[in-house]
Chains A and B, each alone.
Chain A
Amino acid sequence: MQAPHRALAGWGRTNATVAEVVEVPNHEVVAALRDAGPRGALVRGLGRSYGDAAQNSGGLVLRLLGAAHQAVLHPERGTVTVPAGVSIDDLLRVIVPRGWFVPVTPGTRFVTIGGAIASDIHGKNHHVEGSFGNHVESLTLLLADGSQVLLGPDQQPALFWATVGGMGLTGIILEATVRLLPIETSRMAVDTIRVPDLDTLFAEMTSPDDDVRYSVAWIDPLAKGRHLGRSVLGRGDHARLDQLSAKAAADPLAYGPHQLVSVPPLVPPMGFINHTTVAAFNEFWFRKAPRRRIGEIQSIGSFFHPLDVVGRWNRVYGAGGMVQYQFVVPFGEEAAMRTVIERLSEAGAASFLAVLKRFGAGNPAPLSFPALGWTLALDVPAASHGLGELLHGLDRIVLDAGGRHYFTKDSHTTPDAIRRGYPRLDEWKAIRDAVDPNGLWQSDLSRRLGLTD
């Protein structure tokens, strides 16, 4: 064995492919890239993309070493400069006790800053504050020719926005300066409402009550008929000091999220995740939610990252792995959203709670996923019978409605579907090709979806 070849898969644990994997600090990246062969190179963060976005079969995969203590906080400007390999988890442990929060967090803390930019991740605040790229002041990009450029919305904006949401295919993000959100406390003030059906949910999520910073609905994708779309809507904002109890107010910025358990690397017994168990879980979860509860104080972890409490939770889907389906359809296409949820419910594809969220306007990045409208995300076991037909059928509904799919979640769709969903793909390719004429940056996702052809 001359090189450390390893099988890599996404968070969905489908489709592992083999690559040469090297861990390097930022200053050794250029040297490591000399080993890149005809199948190119790619950076992988913490492997939370569900599909093949962070894989490069037969090629080189770099993991950037970076520690949170290298992050430099600029309190007077409200920004932090951080190496791209640092995770949001590590960053929060540094900045929360100092009264700052990341501008956008996804449903897991275990993503890197580089990955957050490359995926242009979104969170519960998209309808108000947009996606991660909107809050990047500048970033340092290593280009295929070995040179480094400083990019920002006002410094080479075309390449900056091609890198935001660019899935690592424009270069290697080495470092970024990100605007932070000042917080008074490390707690969240949360309102929880049970919503009986989809129409009520749409109405509730477009009411002025929804203009709070954070809002997301957990929806039961197995509910049928008049219960279709029943959900629990959670809204909130960072708690102010005067909202905390005297005890909590004594240490208002205390922060120490824990992982309670980890799913062992054993395949669960056959049929552990099936229609009956999942339906029972969803029923229980809906009934346990309060009809209406206002101003509950929660931790950052339980509000934003509930699943992070269980390490490697993706293992519950067994050896077959899972597929996450996420798409957005524009406002006015609520009927398409309803049809998709109906199809999923009819198919009875065992799925835990799905997440429905209202997006605000998108940003200038040609491959950024979020766009004004509704997004739905849900997990399905990859081994489900007939899943291919179901998902390719849903793709057509989404695309006909003017919607599109999220690269970071995708593991099944086709180059045509991407071409239809991202009409600015050719514009992005032209920017990319100019800085990477020999195609150094490649991934399994880019091969599968024809992004770098």
Chain B
Amino acid sequence: MDNALGEPQTILLLGGTSDIGLAIVRELLSPAARTVVLACRNVEKGERAAAGLRHDGLTVDVVAFDGAATDTHEAVVASVVERHGDVDLAIVAFALLGDGEATSRDVAAAAEIAHVNFTGTITATIAVANRMRTQGHGGIVLLSSVAGERVRSANPVYGGTKAGIDGFAQGFGDELAGDGVHMMIVRPGFVHSAMTVGKKAAPFATTPEKVAEVTAKGLRAKRRMVWAPGILRYVFMTLRHVPGPVWRRLPLG
């Protein structure tokens, strides 16, 4: 159970090696936290991340989870619940970034990214939400992107999947509100992380820790959507109305 201070006891990170996901977990750890489950494809890497989180009184469990294997998502959630009880907070943080414009010429690569980022995110989120509806409480943090507002030409496949899950999460969050389940969408800009090493940073680039801070604050205030950094909300409020020919020429990384 969450307590009145919004401190979860059990956190499930789907995408258990995600830099941003792990930063959010660290930010949310409190004396009330009892269990963290890292669900990831690379279990070995997950174990290394788990070693960095473990301390007295906190159980950190690593479970195998493949975003692409959509027919396994319900079973993964069920086994986590079986072992650890109610999931208070789930962070949906797995995604493939692809290789920018190269991906949008490669049908197979694009299909894989679309499958994991879009289909996989939707099935995993529904699997978690179904459990939370049964338990009558829970929170879901869904990592979207500023692309949820407008997709850039630099990485349209990745951006398109983020825009898609962003829309899904808005509608699904409204549906869940009456069931005691709170959905919060996080829209980060460019984040310096393992995923973006070697990529050209966009303006207002941020760090996983900053995204985590914004996320924790948003959860305490029961926000529906947060931007990281917060100023991007106003930047994109403007950018979404910029005419196409201008938008294409903007130096957005």
How many Å lie between the Cα of A370 and that of B17 in the bound state?
47
A402 at the interface (CB under 8 A from B): no
A305 at the interface (CB under 8 A from B): no
Residue in B closest to A50 when the chains form the complex, CB atoms: B4
Residue in B closest to A384 when the chains form the complex, CB atoms: B5
Considering only residues 169-196 of chain B, those with a C-beta below 8 Å from chain A are 178-180
User: Interface digits, A433-453 against B, CB 8 Å rule (1 contact, 0 not)?
Assistant: 000000000001001100000
Query: From residue A166, how far is it (CB to closest CB) to chain B in Å?
Result: 19
Query: From residue A2, how far is it (CB to closest CB) to chain B in Å?
Result: 14
For B221, list chain A residues within 8 Å (CB). 320, 383
**Pairwise interchain contact B136-A39, C-beta atoms closer than 8 A:** yes
Residue in B closest to A447 when the chains form the complex, CB atoms: B1
Instruction: Please tell me the number of chain B residues within 8 Å of chain A, measured between CB atoms.
Output: 25
Query: From residue A27, how far is it (CB to closest CB) to chain B in Å?
Result: 28
Q: Which of A28-36, A52-60, A92-100, A177-185 contacts B (4 or more CB under 8 A)?
A: A52-60
> Can you list 10 A-B contacts (CB < 8 A)?
A7-B178, A15-B3, A51-B4, A57-B1, A320-B221, A321-B4, A382-B4, A392-B32, A412-B3, A414-B31
For B180, list chain A residues within 8 Å (CB). 7, 16-18, 57
How many Å lie between the Cα of A383 and that of B218 in the bound state?
12
For A14, list chain B residues within 8 Å (CB). 4
**Pairwise interchain contact B136-A383, C-beta atoms closer than 8 A:** no
**Pairwise interchain contact B5-A382, C-beta atoms closer than 8 A:** yes
Task: Please report A residues at the B interface, Cβ cutoff 8 Å.
Answer: 5, 7, 12, 14-19, 39, 51-52, 56-59, 319-321, 323, 382-383, 387-388, 391-392, 395, 411-416, 444, 447-448
Query: From residue A100, how far is it (CB to closest CB) to chain B in Å?
Result: 37
Query: From residue B81, how far is it (CB to closest CB) to chain A in Å?
Result: 11
How many Å lie between the Cα of A263 and that of B56 in the bound state?
45
**Pairwise interchain contact A58-B5, C-beta atoms closer than 8 A:** no
Considering only residues 182-230 of chain B, those with a C-beta below 8 Å from chain A are 220-222
Considering only residues 1-55 of chain B, those with a C-beta below 8 Å from chain A are 1-5, 7, 9, 30-32, 34
B85 at the interface (CB under 8 A from A): yes
Task: Please report B residues at the A interface, Cβ cutoff 8 Å.
Answer: 1-5, 7, 9, 30-32, 34, 57, 85-86, 133-137, 178-180, 220-222
CB-CB under 8 A for A323 and B136, given A18-B180, A414-B32 = no
- Our pick among B1, B5, B137, B179 for the contact of A391 (Cβ within 8 Å) is B5
How many Å lie between the Cα of A5 and that of B134 in the bound state?
12
SS class, residues of chain A in contact with chain B: loop
- Our pick among A383, A413, A447 for the contact of B86 (Cβ within 8 Å) is A447
The 10 closest A-B pairs by CB, nearest first: A57-B136, A58-B136, A18-B180, A411-B4, A14-B4, A448-B1, A17-B137, A18-B136, A57-B137, A58-B135
**Pairwise interchain contact B31-A447, C-beta atoms closer than 8 A:** no
**Pairwise interchain contact A388-B30, C-beta atoms closer than 8 A:** yes
**Pairwise interchain contact B30-A17, C-beta atoms closer than 8 A:** no
Most buried by A among B4, B30, B180, B220: B4
Residue in A closest to B31 when the chains form the complex, CB atoms: A392
- Our pick among B1, B5, B32 for the contact of A387 (Cβ within 8 Å) is B5
Query: From residue A377, how far is it (CB to closest CB) to chain B in Å?
Result: 15
How many Å lie between the Cα of A302 and that of B86 in the bound state?
44
Residue in B closest to A12 when the chains form the complex, CB atoms: B4
Query: From residue B172, how far is it (CB to closest CB) to chain A in Å?
Result: 16
Query: From residue A450, how far is it (CB to closest CB) to chain B in Å?
Result: 9
Most buried by B among A12, A57, A382, A411: A57
**Pairwise interchain contact B179-A18, C-beta atoms closer than 8 A:** yes
Query: From residue A317, how far is it (CB to closest CB) to chain B in Å?
Result: 11
For B179, list chain A residues within 8 Å (CB). 5, 18
**Pairwise interchain contact A448-B85, C-beta atoms closer than 8 A:** no
**Pairwise interchain contact A388-B7, C-beta atoms closer than 8 A:** yes
Query: From residue B133, how far is it (CB to closest CB) to chain A in Å?
Result: 8
CB-CB under 8 A for A323 and B31, given A58-B135, A416-B57, A447-B86 = no
